[in-house]
């Protein structure tokens, strides 16, 4: 807390002056049927950082889209209420006009233009500004905040690391010199060390005079740098107040910070308003727990997994070595985690296991079968299923359809039988639907089967991914960042659901994850990768004590200093 405490005077809560942004009774619907916001009120005082917290699907992104005028592009519309910015009603205005008024949004997931260079990305951000001098000044300021970007102006945006892409996304927004900056989940998918950096920079941007609305899953970070905060729940404001008060409230501590991770000694004041707290949408945990081992559907068979062993695997792309001599063994029925900083080679590792990438050298054996030369669909037929880090679902199809895809390897009816809708195919489809329903119940999706994937919030889509993998009735389940983008409560719920499934089905699980508490709570053995090499292998307890791991993954004090020093030096890139 201390290192990030802001040294500017705190604006008084409920300032007497007119707030810069004033939202009243805002209602939003998607596609005429789904109500995303049911009357949200929000005041953003001049000079402040206001955090917007809430579970997946609470309406945080929708709120930002409604403010920035981009709802229509996502198929939504404002059905009531008003958004007032700087004294003017901007409800439903064209986004281009809103940007020119100095209100700019950084979208969720960074969304930098991957094929454009860093320089061109920044120029794109400045397109709304006519004044050449102002543009040059804005660029100077961006480079002061992010010296990294200056070193990489000619590089394509898509080649930057996740943290650098987030810097570019923020820098791009600053190019139009906003008075009000909306940030949608800037910490998503970033390593803890990088999140700290981003938090410091957001504080600095605010100190330089830009008002910030910060939507975050990482409530600990958001509440630390914010002056005020609101908590959204299913499209309504559930709690609001000073950030410090909220950070101290039991409600928030429990739901969003995860008790174990709370390290804020100052926030002690109890939260005054706890209205609606009990009506919180609790994601998968309760359902999965209840539906877990006891009420398993009759037809469910236990997995018959075999040992999965990776021997000296090396993967090269062109001149880059993504994995070098990596070895580990996963015993049947256990959970093995592969962890490491961004770019360590974790996803590459999963991609080798599923046959998406081919190892340059080394072997991968599943039981007695060598997986090395097999195509992905052959490996899937062996009973290896996976989920994807960047969701790979059919957005325009229903959840049920997506899950039926997972049943593909267990579906016998061919193209002709299905096309002609022969009785055998119809009967099989009915059976498959029944199985899908059972699997959906296991992960708490039974009420979402008929919904289209693109209307579902991110966290629910993650569960659809998990359910689809389970639909294949795998023996081995590979999970690529199953809790990325989830808050502590949801992450714990997912952890519980996976643990239950493992117990009930006897699955072997290989998981790749950033979230350390999640990994340590679930895995029996852990492999740590850094720059494509295996730097540690052992039980979670061993790993947590390993100095090399602390250095690489958690970042020691020395590493932090070195990093910031790097930035200051600003070595010119050759």
Partner 1 sequence: MTEFIELTINGFSLGAIYALIAIGFVLVFKATGVVNFAHGSVLLLGAYVTARTQEDLGFWVALVVGAAVAGAGAALIDVLLMRRVRAVDAGTLAILTLGIDIVLATELTRRIGPDIFPSGAPWGSEVVRMGDYVIPETRVAAAGIAIVILTAFYTAFRFTDWGIAMRAAAADGRTAALMGVRLNRVAAGAWALAGAIAAVAGVFFTSFPAPGVDNATGLSALAAIPAAVIGGLDSLFGALVGGIMVGLVATYCAGYQDELSFLGRGLGEIAPYTVMLIVLLIRPAGLFGSRGVTRV
**Residues lying near partner 1 in the complex (CB under 8 A):** 68, 70, 73-75, 94-96, 99-100, 104-107, 111, 113-116, 120, 123-125, 127-128, 172-173, 176, 347, 351, 356, 388-390, 392, 480
Closest approach of Cβ 250 to partner 1, in Å?
37
Q: How far is the CB of 121 from partner 1 (least distance, A)?
A: 8
Could you tell me the smallest distance in angstroms from the CB atom of residue 138 to partner 1?
Answer: 13
Q: Identify which of residues 236 and 346 has a Cβ nearer to partner 1 in the complex.
A: 346
* DSSP per residue, 4-42: G---SPPPPTT-SSPPSEEEEEEEEEETTTEEEEEEEEE
Closest by CA to 293, choosing from 482, 499, 495, is 499
| Nearer to partner 1 among residue 388 and residue 531 (C-beta) | 388
Q: How far apart are CA 496 and CA 284, in angstroms?
A: 9
Tell me the backbone φ, ψ of residue 509, rounded to 5 degrees.
-125, 130
Q: Which is nearer to partner 1, 143 or 388 (CB)?
A: 388
Across 15-142, where does the E strand assignment appear? 21-30, 34-44, 49-54, 76-85, 88-89, 103-106
Nearer to partner 1, 70 or 329 (CB): 70
Q: Which of 444, 504, 439 is nearest to 470 (CA)?
A: 439
What is the C-alpha to C-alpha distance for residues 75 and 77, in angstroms, rounded to an integer? 7
Query: In the complex, what is the shortest distance from the CB of residue 123 to partner 1, in angstroms, rounded to a whole number?
Result: 5
Cross-strand partners of 452: 398
Q: Tell me the C-alpha distance between 537 and 328, whole Å.
A: 8
Q: Which is nearer to partner 1, 71 or 543 (CB)?
A: 71
Q: Which is it for strands 361-366 and 335-339: parallel, antiparallel or unpaired?
A: unpaired
What is the nearest approach in angstroms of partner 1 to the Cβ of residue 69? 8
Q: What letter would DSSP give residue 452?
A: B
Find the shortest distance in angstroms from Cβ 9 to partner 1: 31
Name which of 104 and 455 has its Cβ closer to partner 1.
104
Q: Nearer to partner 1 by C-beta: 47 or 126? A: 126
Residue placing its CB nearer to partner 1 in the complex, 361 or 390: 390
Q: Is the dihedral of CA 306, 311, 316, 322 positive or negative?
A: positive
Distance in Å, CB of 49 to partner 1, minimum: 20
Q: What is the DSSP letter of 156?
A: B
62 or 334: CB nearest partner 1? 62
Kindly give, in sequence order, each residue whose CB lies less than 8 Å from that of residue 570, ignoring residues fewer than 6 positions away. Answer: 147, 150, 151
Q: Phi-psi region for residue 500, left (φ > 0), alpha (ψ -120 to 50) or beta?
A: alpha
Helix, strand or coil for residue 335? strand
- The residues with which 40 forms a beta bridge, in sequence order, are 26
Closer residue to partner 1 in complex, CB, 116/520 = 116
CB of residue 505 to partner 1, shortest distance in Å: 24
| Per-residue tokens: 36 | 């995303």
Q: For partner 1, which is the closer residue by CB, 90 or 106? A: 106
Exposed/middle/buried for residue 507 (C-beta within 10 Å: 0-12, 13-18, 19+): buried
Q: Which long-range contacts (CB under 8 A, 24 or more apart) does 555-564 make?
A: 555/191, 555/192, 555/193, 559/193, 560/193, 560/196, 563/193, 563/197
Q: Quick one: tokens of 211?
A: 């008002």
Question: Looking at beta carbons only, is 130 or 565 nearer to partner 1?
Answer: 130
Q: Which is closer to partner 1, CB of 96 or CB of 260?
A: 96
The least CB distance from residue 347 to partner 1, in Å, is: 7
Query: How near is the Cβ of 100 to partner 1 at its closest, in Å?
Result: 6
**Nearest one of 488, 564, 486 to 201, comparing CA atoms:** 564
Whichever of 449 and 529 has its CB closer to partner 1, that residue is 529
Report DSSP state, residue 315: E
* Residue reference for tokens 């970007």: 149
Distance of CA 531 to the CA centre of its chain: 22
Q: What are phi and psi of 439, to 5 degrees?
A: -65, -40
Q: What are phi and psi of 306, to 5 degrees?
A: -120, 175
Round to whole Å and give the CA distance between 419 and 413: 10
Shortest reach from residue 94's CB to partner 1, in Å: 8
User: At closest approach, how far in Å is the CB of 385 from partner 1?
Assistant: 14
- Give me the least distance between CB of 254 and partner 1, in Å please: 34
Q: State the minimum distance, in angstroms, from the CB of residue 559 to partner 1.
A: 27
């Amino acid at each position: 807390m201390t290192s990030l405490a802001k040294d500017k005077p705190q604006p008084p809560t409920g300032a007497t002056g007119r707030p810069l942004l004033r939202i009243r009774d805002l209602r939003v619907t998607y596609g005429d049927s789904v109500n995303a916001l049911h009357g949200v009120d929000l005041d953003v005082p001049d000079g402040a950082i206001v955090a917007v917290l809430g579970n997946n699907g609470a309406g945080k992104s929708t709120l930002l889209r409604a403010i920035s005028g981009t709802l229509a592009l996502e198929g939504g519309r404002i059905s009531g209420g008003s958004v007032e910015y700087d004294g003017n009603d901007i409800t439903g205005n064209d986004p281009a006009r809103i940007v020119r008024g100095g209100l700019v949004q950084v979208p969720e997931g960074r969304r930098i233009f991957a094929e454009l260079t860093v320089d061109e990305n920044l120029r794109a951000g400045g397109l709304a500004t006519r004044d050449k001098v102002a543009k040059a000044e804005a660029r100077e300021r961006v480079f002061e905040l992010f010296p990294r970007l200056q070193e990489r102006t000619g590089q394509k945006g898509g080649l930057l690391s996740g943290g650098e892409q987030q810097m570019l996304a923020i820098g791009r927004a600053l190019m139009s010199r906003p008075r009000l900056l909306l940030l949608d989940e800037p910490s998503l998918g970033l390593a803890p060390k990088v999140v700290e950096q981003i938090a410091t920079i957001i504080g600095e941007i605010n100190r330089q005079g830009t008002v910030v609305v910060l939507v975050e899953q990482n409530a600990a970070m958001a509440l630390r740098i914010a002056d005020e905060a609101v908590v959204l729940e299913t499209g309504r404001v559930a709690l609001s107040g000073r950030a410090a008060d909220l950070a101290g409230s039991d409600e928030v501590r429990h739901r969003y910070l995860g008790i174990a991770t709370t390290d804020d000694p100052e926030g002690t004041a109890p939260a005054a308003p706890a209205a609606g707290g009990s009506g919180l949408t609790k994601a998968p945990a309760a359902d999965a727990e209840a539906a877990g081992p006891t009420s398993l559907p009759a037809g469910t068979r236990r997995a018959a997994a075999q040992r999965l062993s990776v021997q000296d695997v090396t993967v090269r792309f062109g001149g880059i070595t993504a994995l070098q001599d990596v070895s580990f063994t996963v015993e049947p029925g256990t959970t093995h985690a592969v962890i490491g900083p961004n770019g360590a080679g974790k996803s590459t590792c999963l991609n080798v296991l599923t046959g998406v990438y081919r190892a340059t050298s080394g072997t991968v054996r599943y039981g007695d079968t060598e997986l090395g030369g097999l195509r992905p669909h052959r490996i899937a037929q062996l009973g290896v299923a996976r989920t994807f880090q960047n969701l790979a679902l059919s957005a325009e199809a229903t959840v049920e359809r997506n899950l039926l895809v997972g049943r593909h390897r267990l579906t016998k009816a061919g193209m002709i039988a299905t096309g002609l809708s022969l009785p055998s195919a119809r009967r099989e489809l009915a059976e498959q639907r029944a199985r899908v329903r059972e699997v959906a119940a296991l992960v708490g999706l039974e009420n979402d089967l008929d919904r289209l994937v693109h209307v579902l919030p991110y966290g629910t889509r993650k569960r659809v991914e998990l359910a689809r993998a389970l639909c294949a009735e795998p023996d081995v389940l590979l999970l690529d960042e199953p809790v990325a983008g989830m808050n502590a409560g949801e992450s714990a719920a997912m952890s519980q659901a996976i643990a239950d499934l493992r117990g009930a089905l006897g699955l072997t699980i290989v998981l790749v994850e950033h979230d350390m508490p999640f990994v340590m709570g679930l895995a029996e053995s852990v492999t740590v990768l850094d720059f494509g090499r295996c730097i540690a292998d052992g039980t979670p307890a061993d790993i947590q004590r390993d100095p090399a791991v602390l250095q690489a993954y958690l970042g020691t004090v020395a590493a932090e200093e070195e990093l910031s020093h790097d930035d200051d030096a600003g070595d010119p890139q050759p």
